[in-house]
Structure 1
Amino acid sequence: MVATGPAHDSVESLVRNKYGIELVILEHARHLDSNDYGAKLKSLLESRHFDVLIVEYIHSSYCLNFLPYDCHVILDTHDIISERTAQFKKFNYGGSLYEMQENDEADIFNIYDHVMMINQPDFDKACLMVDRQKVLLCPHPSEIYCHELRPEVRKIAFIASCYLPNVDSINHFVAHCWDKISAKYDVELDIYGTVCTELNCSDKKGINLKGFESDLNKIYEEADIIINPVRFGAGLKIKNLEALAHGKPLVTTRHGARGMETGANGVYSIADDDDAFIAALSELIQNRYLRETRQQHAHGFITKNFSSSECFRPLYDAITEFDITQ
């Protein structure tokens, strides 16, 4: 695995010792431009041969200009950027992140032997942009964890980075939903992650800005219900998969459920406006049996649809096919 950097000098050994993965940081001390990163990558690859290279994120495609030999190249997209661009503009956040038009994105996709999509809607759209044989559906896998289900709900949790759609979603929820929930029920809202650095709601009743927590098990052990009121963005909402993998009742939006639509309102609750979100939360708070049922269904849904073998099989098959044809 190669990362541009900068990064702390010890990060490679930490990753190797903890995960058994070789990580190479191209530059530890400072940010470089794409030409300098490319030159460092070329120098690294000249001493080692790889049959397949996976490029993470479309904005890293510049590195293809520096490959010293022919090999198969796969793009791990994470998001369709033209889709994200349209979503951001719809909610008046145009220009907040780098943008791309669909035709330009399709041209870059066509450079690669394969492009990986993280959910079914993105896969379907990519198949309209490029040859279907290029497109691989490789969602994010999750492992099952078990936690005790408490008889009463005391903690509602939101876990997120400071990515703009996360900040927008929890600010909207606090402004339009939380007062009605906290006035009716004896519950608290715990907010975790770097999203806390962008919020200004610690003075609101029952809201706890917890900040970054490295132990996800600790978060899910304390939480009774997980919310993700995200209104726009792109890709697959991995925080939703993690909530289900931990067996936690989840309330999210239709947008938040992209890529996991088959579990809607049986595995988790969908709510697309403020009143619906309040109603869905209230139902879970009041109904222990529903929470127990959701826990069982969530684990089954993850096992069936988001195991490592299921998610990575298309990528494995593509790489194996490359090896056979050499």
Structure 2
Amino acid sequence: MKVCVISSVWVEPQSSAAGSRMLQILDIFLDKDFEVTYASTASPSEFAINLTRKGITTTIIKLNDPSFDTYLQEQQPDIVLFDRFMVEEQFGWRVAQQCPDALRILDTEDLHCLRNARHQALKENRPFVNSDLFSDIAKREIASIYRCDLTLMISEYEMEVLQNVFKVPKELLHYLPFLVAPVLGEFVPFEERAHFIAIGNFLHAPNWDAALVLKQTIWPAIRKMIPDAQLHLYGAYASEKVLQLHNPKEGFYVKRRAEDAHEVISKAKVLLAPLRFGAGLKGKFIDAMQCGTPSVTTQIGAEAMQGDFTWGGYIEDDFSAFAKAATTLYTDKNLWKVAQDHGRILINNRFQKNDFEDDFYDTIENYRNTLLSRRQQNFTGQMLLHHTLQSTKFMSKWIEEKNKGK
């Protein structure tokens, strides 16, 4: 079976949780002996994983260019996976025209309209309410979900939002969270660890906001309780404004990109992530639980991760309580060990690859075998696709002609 993944970026598992997530999906396809191609509009990144070594064919594609039609005609994929709704907007109509029988899958990574709505509420210094969700981004994102045959969701909470708030049929959604191997509990001991750690791609706005909260509010409170404490802040794509947070006198160290996230997290005592907005699942906590490193975060940070299990650390929205919880974990070995065990139990019960891989494959097979009837039942999606073919197609054609003039 042929699978074509279309993305605006290359896969960087050491840079972001989204990169790790995409790599996990690609590995599922490879495990099932699918023939996989990865097409991106971006230039190759120096931090991107070498997909060709995994047996994946890669290519650079152009926006608003008929060469992509030729590419699809040559490939004739059975499945096309769009990496985020913006990519589906750009290429979905071409896929529908050139490969009408291909199963179209959307990977949301996280629900963009939810993240954007929470960010807007924070900027306006008010609580988030469901009415904030009904934005132009939501209109675009929900339309993309309807146009596709299946949408992969990483968060159970976001599936509830789509079904209860936007009334998206559950048949269009499939839950596929982060996927990891069993964690056995062979961790670096408490006595051999040092320092607090924070980590996250700085191109992602929630991570930059969390870094500011740490610097301005939480870290000064922790230093009052532990005067010699150090916080090591790691993150890919650190801009000058991030680097300016570096202050050894305050014990606040900006370390830039971590070459191996698991290595630096496994040597730290406690991971801090005071996230005030965002969506999806946070890969930093998956890494922390795999490394046996307890964490302190907010309700939004832990959202959709713990299920019926106990968090491997503390969840605090009040920043004073956050600092106290972090200090307690850092100094109390017994509580630290209990939190470590909770994290291991959580990840082993909620995010095991073996629990999701076969179900995803069976769903793909089922949807491919019933594609025509499912599309007939999804008339809203067919209607949106029809109008997209008319509007987006001719806008793209206009851009093509404009580019010829250049």
Q: Which residue of 2 aligns with 1:131?
A: 169
In 2, distance between residues paired with 1:126 and 1:313? Answer: 24
2:134 matches 1:92: no
Q: 1:128-176: per-residue Cα shift (whole Å, max 9, x none)?
A: 3311111111111234374212237631100111111111111111111
Name the amino acid aligned to 1:25: T
* 1:2, distance to aligned residue in structure 2 (A): 1.8
Describe the shift of the 1:274–1:8 C-alpha distance in structure 2 as closer, same or farther (beyond 3 A).
Answer: closer
- Supply the distance in 2 between the matched residues of 1:202 and 1:263 (Cα, whole angstroms): 38
| Aligned residue type for 1:24 | T
Tell me which residue corresponds to 1:227.
Answer: 272
1:79-104 deviations in whole A, cap 9, x for unaligned? 2222122111112289xxxx734344
2: distance between equivalents of 1:322 and 1:118?
A: 19
Distance change (3 Å), C-alpha of 1:266 and 1:323? closer
- Tell me which protein shows more helix as a share of its residues: 2
CA 247–290 in structure 1, closer or farther in 2 if over 3 Å, else same: same
Q: 1:182 maps to which residue?
A: 223
Match of 2:315 in 1: 270
**SS of the residue 2:300 aligns to:** coil
Query: C-alpha displacement at 1:324, in angstroms?
Result: 3.9
**What does residue 291 of structure 1 align with?**
336
Match of 1:165 in 2: 206
**In structure 2, C-alpha distance between the alignment counterparts of 1:322 and 1:148, rounded to whole Å:** 45
- Opposite residue 299 of structure 2, the aligned amino acid is R
Of 186, 203, 209, the residue aligned with 2:254 is 209
Q: Are 2:184 and 1:156 aligned?
A: no
Could you say if the C-alpha distance between residues 263 and 161 of structure 1 is closer, same or farther in structure 2, counting changes exceeding 3 Å?
farther
Does the aligned pair in 1 maintain the 2:265–2:287 contact within 8 Å?
A: no
Kept in 1, the 8 Å contact 2:297–2:316? The answer is yes
Displacement after TM superposition at 1:249 (Å): 0.4
2:313–2:340: 8 Å Cα contact kept in structure 1? no
From 32, 51, 73, the counterpart of 2:78: 51
> CA 1:9–1:251 in 2, change beyond 3 Å: closer, same or farther?
closer
Aligned residues of 1:251 and 1:270 also touching (Cα < 8 A): yes
Q: TM-score, normalised by structure 1?
A: 0.87
The within-5 A match list for 1:1-326 is 1-7=38-44, 14-17=50-53, 20-27=54-61, 34-36=63-65, 39-61=66-88, 62-67=90-95, 68-70=98-100, 71-92=102-123, 100-128=136-164, 129=166, 130-143=168-181, 144=183, 146-151=186-191, 154-162=194-202, 163-185=204-226, 186-194=228-236, 196-197=238-239, 198-199=241-242, 200-203=244-247, 204-262=249-307, 266-325=311-370
**CA offsets, 1:52-76, max 9 Å, x none?**
1111100001211212121110100
Alpha-carbon separation, structure 2, partners of 1:149 and 1:93? 44
Secondary structure, in 3 states, of the residue corresponding to 1:151?
Answer: helix
Once residues 306 and 142 of structure 1 are traced to their aligned partners in structure 2, the CA distance between those partners, rounded to angstroms, is 6
Letter in 1 for 2:200: A
> How many Å separate the matches in 2 of 1:9 and 1:79?
25
TM-score, normalised by the number of residues in structure 2:
0.71
Deviates more, 1:71-80 or 1:198-207: 198-207
RMSD: 2.5
Mapped to 2, the partners of 1:9 and 1:231 lie a distance apart of 31
Work out the CA distance in 2 between the residues paired with 1:23 and 1:223: 38
Is the alpha carbon distance of 1:9 and 1:154 closer, same or farther for their aligned partners in structure 2, counting shifts above 3 Å? closer
Aligned residues: 312
Change over 3 Å in CA distance of 1:81–1:247 after alignment to 2? same
SS at match of 2:250: coil
Instruction: From the superposition, tell whether residues 119 and 191 of structure 1 become closer, same or farther in structure 2 (CA, over 3 Å).
Output: same
Q: Distance in 2 between the 1:239 and 1:205 partners?
A: 24
Secondary structure of the corresponding residue to residue 116 of structure 1: strand
Cα displacement (A) at 1:309: 2.4
Tell me the distance in 2 between the aligned counterparts of 1:11 and 1:233.
Answer: 24
